[in-house]
Structure 1
Amino acid sequence: MRLGVLGGTFDPPHVGHLLIASDAVEQLSLDRVVFIPAALQPLKPGSAQTPPGVRLAMVRALVGDDPRFVVDPIEIDRGGLSYTVDTLGTLAAQQPGAELFLLAGADVLTTFARWREPERIRRQATLVVLTRGGEDGTVPTAAPPDFPGGAPVFLPTRRVDVSSTEVRARLAAGRPIRGFVPESVADLIRSAGLYR
C-alpha cells in the first residue's frame, strides 16, 4: 500500500488541502492520503490554536466520505508536541509493509533541518515537497546542498491562493468564506463560533 501522510494544524482546513491531496493521489499513485491534525506544533510554540478535538472534527468534515482520504487522530490522541518522526514510526507499525510518502509544503526546504531527527524521518518515508508557482511563476526544484538526507521528491501541484490564515482573517472581519472551505466545515465553524 502507498500512503500519503499530510499533517498540519488545519486551523481551519480548507479546499487547498483537498486539492493538494488529490494531486498527490493522482501523481504518486497513492492508495490513500492520511490527514493528521497536530496536537501542538513544535515549530509554532505559544501560537493560539483551536482546540484539537474541534480541528479534528473540521478535518473529518473536510474529507467527508471520499475513499481516497482518511483522518487519523494519532497526534491528538498522543497529546503534547507533535513530532513527525514519532507519527511515522507509529504509522509504520500499524501498516507493516506500507510505503509512506510525507507530503509537505515548500517551506520544508528551510525548516526541515530543525525538525526532530530529520535523517530518521527520511528513512521512514519518502519526503515529497508540494510545489506551486510563486508570484513570478517559478517553483522550487532543488533543495539546499546540505538538506538532510539528500534531495526530496518535488511534486508540482496547482496554485491555490487560500490559506488557513486568510480564512481566519476573513471570519474575524465578518467576511464570507464560501468557496474557501466546504460547507460542512463552514457549518462547524459557525456552530462553534470560531475565529470571531
Structure 2
Amino acid sequence: MKVGIMGGTFDPIHTGHLLAAEWAREEAGLEEVWFMPAGVPPHKPNAPKASADERLALVQAAIAGHDSFRICGIELEREGPSYTADTMEELVQRHPGVQFSYIIGADMVQFLPHWNRIERLAELITFVGLQRPGYPLELEELPEAIGRRVQLVPFIGLELSSTEIRRRLASGRSVRYMVPEPVYTLIREKGLYGS
C-alpha cells in the first residue's frame, strides 16, 4: 500500500492542508494520506497554541468522511522534539507492508539536505514535492541520494497559513471557508485561538 504522510502542527488545520493532501493523493497515486500532527516541532521556536488533544480533534473533524484520509498520532505519543527521521523509522517498523511518501511543499524540497538524518530518511521513504507555479526547482540541485527520492507534482496551492487564521480569530474576524465547517464549529465551541 502507498501512503502519504502529511505532517504539521495543524494549529489549526485549514483548507490548504486538505487541498494539498488530496492533490498529492491523486497526482502521486497514493492510496491513503495519514495526517500526522507534530508533537514538539524542532524547527519552530514556539509551542503550538492549541493542545495536542485539541489539534488532534481539529484534524479528526477536518478529515471525517474522507475514505482515504486517516489520522496518525505517533508524534503526540512521544516527549521532546519530533524529528521526521525518528518518526518514519518507527512507522516503517510498525507497518512493514506500506510504502511511505512524505508530502511537502516544493519550497521545502530545497531544504531536505538540512533535515535531521536525511540520508537515513531517504533510504526509508520517498517525498512528494508539491510544486506551485512561480517556484522553479531543479532536483539536480539536490544530492543524488535525495533528489532521486523526490517526486515533484504540479500544484495550484492556496495562500493560507495557520498563523494568519489564528490572528484573524484573535481579532474577532471570520475564518469561515478558510477552515472546514466542522473545524470552524469546533474552534468556536472550544473558544480556541481567542475566538
- What TM-score do the two structures reach when normalised by structure 2? 0.91
Any conservation in 2 of the 1:13–1:181 contact (CA below 8 Å)?
yes
Partner of residue 190, structure 2: 192
Any conservation in 2 of the 1:112–1:148 contact (CA below 8 Å)?
no
> Does 2:176 match 1:178?
yes
- Summarize the Cα distance change of 1:26–1:175 in structure 2 as closer, same or farther, 3 Å threshold: same
Which amino acid is 1:104 matched to? Answer: I
Any conservation in 1 of the 2:20–2:157 contact (CA below 8 Å)?
no
Any conservation in 1 of the 2:33–2:69 contact (CA below 8 Å)?
yes
Aligned residues: 192
Partner of residue 92, structure 2: 92
Partner of residue 139, structure 1: 135
Any idea what SS the aligned residue of 2:176 has? coil
Partner of residue 63, structure 1: 63
Taking only aligned residues, the RMSD between alpha carbons, in angstroms, comes to: 1.7
Any idea what SS the aligned residue of 2:174 has? coil
User: Sequence identity of aligned pairs in percent?
Assistant: 39
Unaligned runs of 5+ in 1: none
> Does 2:158 match 1:156?
no
Query: Using the alignment, how far apart are the partners of 1:104 and 1:173 within structure 2?
Result: 30
Give 1:147 deviation, angstroms. Answer: 4.2
Partner of residue 30, structure 1: 30
User: Is the helix fraction higher in 1 or 2?
Assistant: 2
Residue deviations 1:111-165 (CA, integer Å, cap 9, x gap):
33332101111111111211222xxxx1333147354733222111122122111
Any conservation in 1 of the 2:112–2:118 contact (CA below 8 Å)?
yes
Give 1:48 deviation, angstroms. Answer: 4.6
Give 1:174 deviation, angstroms. Answer: 1.0
Any idea what SS the aligned residue of 1:107 has? helix
Any conservation in 2 of the 1:119–1:148 contact (CA below 8 Å)?
no
Unaligned runs of 5+ in 2: none
Which amino acid is 2:42 matched to? Answer: P
Moved more, 98-107 or 150-159: 150-159
Any conservation in 2 of the 1:118–1:148 contact (CA below 8 Å)?
no
